[in-house]
């Protein structure tokens, strides 16, 4: 009888050993897969970063703003959906901006149309870079390795905010500097991605709301003639599905 009990006990132990070994191997596989995905994404982004050389070209005059700027010509050969470029100093954010017919296509695809968990930095399908709306919205994943919009949360740090209050937004047609005036954590219940406003007063109320929500106070003055840019990413610390980190900035066109 004792022999049967011992055999049964050893069998159970083996089952548990194989079970936990399987869990360990699966977890290791997942970590390696994620690591490779991060590495491949960085490599792919480095390839296109080498092709974008805005410093070789002067900022165009306003009357030339409907011509595609020369620094984008080679990029458009790589992907005709590229509509701009975003650069935030002291972060890895130095990426092409893509736009599709919806906000799903580039959520998990890179500029080579390959599926990847990092996706792309992409413009809301409702926006038009030829004639910016009052609210231009750009999305990107909050990646754990800091890529894409993974370091956008640095704007919640007041020292970083003050030292990097300006970033750069280039489109096929125009060049802008962006003065950041608001950063906050919210949820998808707050509709900060409105692009069309019925009146100046409605737009001004929206501007007051998002400025008052800022975790860091600024003395920015905004009026109905101003156009803004909204950077949106997930808030991993709260809820990856519903939590959002949002940065708003005022668009200032260069060369005009």
pLDDT tens for residues 177-234? 999 999 999 999 999 999 999 999 999 999 999 999 999 999 899 999 999 999 999 9
Strand ranges, E, within 38-116:
82-87, 94-98
Ranking 45-54, 136-145, 212-221, 243-252 by mean pLDDT, the lowest is 45-54
| pLDDT range class, residue 40, cuts 50, 70, 90 | confident
What single DSSP character describes residue 68? P
pLDDT at residue 61, rounded to an integer = 45
What percent of the chain has a predicted confidence (pLDDT) above 90? 68
Neighbours of 97 (CB within 10 A): 25
Provide the pLDDT for residue 26.
45
What is the distance between the alpha carbons of residues 137 and 206, in angstroms, rounded to a whole number? 14
How far are the Cα atoms of 203, 209, 211 from residue 220, in angstroms, in the given order?
16, 13, 9
State the Cα–Cα distance between residues 164 and 161, nearest whole angstrom: 5
Mean pLDDT (the chain, rounded)? 86
**How confident is the model at residue 22, as a pLDDT?**
54
Closest C-alpha among 66, 91, 64, 82 to residue 145:
91
Length of the chain: 256
| DSSP-derived secondary structure letter, 109 | B
Q: Is the model more confident about 56 or about 221?
A: 221
Task: Mention every residue, 6+ apart, whose C-beta is less than 8 A from residue 16.
Answer: none
Q: Round to whole Å and give the CA distance between 90 and 5.
A: 65
Contact 45, 147 (CB under 8 A): yes
83: tokens are 């509509």
- Per DSSP (E only), the strands in the chain are 82-87, 94-98, 121-123, 135-139, 166-171, 175-187, 228-235, 239-253
Position 45 scores a pLDDT of 86
For the chain, what is the largest distance between any 2 Cα atoms, rounded to a whole number of angstroms?
A: 95
Task: Assign 50 to helix, strand or coil.
Answer: coil
- Tens-digit pLDDT profile for residues 117-166: 899 999 999 999 999 999 999 999 999 899 999 999 999 999 999 999 99
Mean pLDDT value across residues 241-256: 90
- Provide the pLDDT for residue 3: 60
Q: How far is the C-alpha of 128 from the C-alpha of 224, rounded, in Å?
A: 19
Q: Which of 141, 123, 121 lies closest to 132, judged by CA? A: 123
Statement: residue 250 has pLDDT above 70: yes
Residues with catalytic annotation?
234
Q: Which pTM was predicted?
A: 0.83
Residues in a beta bridge with 184: 246
Q: Of 142, 137, 155, 163, which is closest to residue 215 (Cα–Cα)?
A: 155
In which band, very low, low, confident or very high, does the pLDDT at 65 lie, cut at 50, 70 and 90? low
């Amino acid at each position: 009888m004792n022999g049967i009990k011992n055999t049964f006990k050893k069998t159970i132990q083996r089952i548990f050993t194989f079970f936990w070994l399987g869990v360990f191997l699966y977890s290791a596989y997942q970590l390696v897969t994620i690591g490779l995905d991060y590495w491949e994404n960085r490599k792919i982004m480095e390839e296109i970063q080498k092709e974008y050389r805005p410093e070789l070209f002067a900022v165009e005059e306003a009357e030339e703003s409907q011509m595609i700027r020369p620094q984008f010509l080679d990029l458009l050969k790589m992907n005709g959906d590229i509509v701009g470029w975003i650069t935030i100093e002291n972060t890895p954010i130095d990426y092409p901006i893509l736009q599709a017919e919806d906000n799903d296509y580039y959520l998990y695809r890179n500029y080579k149309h390959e599926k990847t968990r990092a996706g792309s930095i992409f413009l809301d399908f409702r926006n038009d870079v030829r004639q910016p709306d009052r609210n231009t919205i750009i999305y990107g994943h909050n990646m754990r390795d800091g890529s894409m919009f993974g370091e956008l949360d640095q704007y919640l740090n007041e020292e970083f905010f003050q030292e990097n209050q300006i970033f750069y937004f280039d489109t096929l047609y125009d060049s802008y500097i962006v003065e950041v005036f608001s950063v906050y954590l919210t949820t998808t219940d707050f509709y900060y991605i409105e692009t069309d406003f019925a009146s100046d007063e409605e737009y001004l109320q929206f501007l007051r709301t998002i400025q008052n929500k800022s975790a860091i106070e600024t003395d920015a003055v905004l009026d109905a003639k101003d156009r803004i840019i909204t950077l949106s990413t997930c808030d991993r610390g709260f809820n990856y599905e519903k939590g959002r980190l949002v940065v708003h900035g005022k668009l200032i066109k260069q060369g005009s």
